[in-house]
Structure formats: structure tokens, C-alpha cells
Amino acid sequence: QVQLVESGGGVVQPGGSLRLSCAASGFTFSSYGMHWVRQAPGKGLEWVAFIRYDGTYKYYADSVRGRFTISRDNSKNTLYLQMNSLRAEDTAVYYCAKDFFPIVVLPSTWFDPWGQGTLVTVSS
């Protein structure tokens, strides 16, 4: 079945960097756009970034543009999120999520399924 498994979370100091990974299985990874969505402790969902199925287009939330980079390796069925210049407000559970439909050119709003999430804590 379709499975997404995030890894790479942890505790990092403000200004530091972290790279998250999302290992995909059970579907043709190279045919689907992928997203990162985060959720601060006790708060709601916040969309972070989208990468097109072929990696040619990337979209970011204003809150992370210029600091975060989404990428993918279709040969390894893996999605990444490189996070630089981290701030306390970036503390959250980060989920990767698959686009519901294949070969989507622009960011959609339907994500299915989601991974279990990985916690990133930015603190000194």
C-alpha cells in the first residue's frame, strides 16, 4: 500500500540547518507532486512547499521562502526538505504528503496520504 515515512527531525539551535527526508513506497513516485505541511504544537496545519512530479517547479509559503528548499530524487523515491536559518517559529511536526492525482502541474489542495510526521524543535 502507499506509504510515506519521514525522518530527519530533531532539536536544532536558532540559525541552524536540518534536512528532512520522506521515503515513498507503494506508488509510482515520479508521477506525483509532493508537499510538505507542518503543524506547530497545539496549532493548525500550515502548508510549506510543493514540488512538481518531475521536480521542475517548486512553490513555497511566504514564511519559508528563501530559507527552505524542497527537492526530490525520483531514482530513490525520496522527497527532501532542506531547512536553513531556522527560527523558533519553525518548531512543528513536519508531514510529507502526496498529491491525490498524478501529473499535476500546479499545487493542488488535496493531499493523500500523509506520512506520520517528524518533529523539528528549534531551541537554544
User: Binders of other proteins among 63-102, rule CB under 8 A?
Assistant: 95, 100
| Residue 124: CB minimum distance to other proteins, A | 27
Beta-carbon contacts of 42 under 8 Å, excluding residues fewer than 6 positions away, are none
If the CB atoms of residues 73 and 112 are measured against other proteins, the closer one turns out to be: 112
The span from the CA of 48 to the CA of 107, in Å, is 11
Of 8-16, 42-50, 67-75, 77-85, the window that binds other proteins (rule: CB under 8 A) is 42-50
Residues at the site binding other proteins, with contacts judged by CB under 8 A: 35, 37, 44-47, 50, 59-62, 95, 100, 107-117
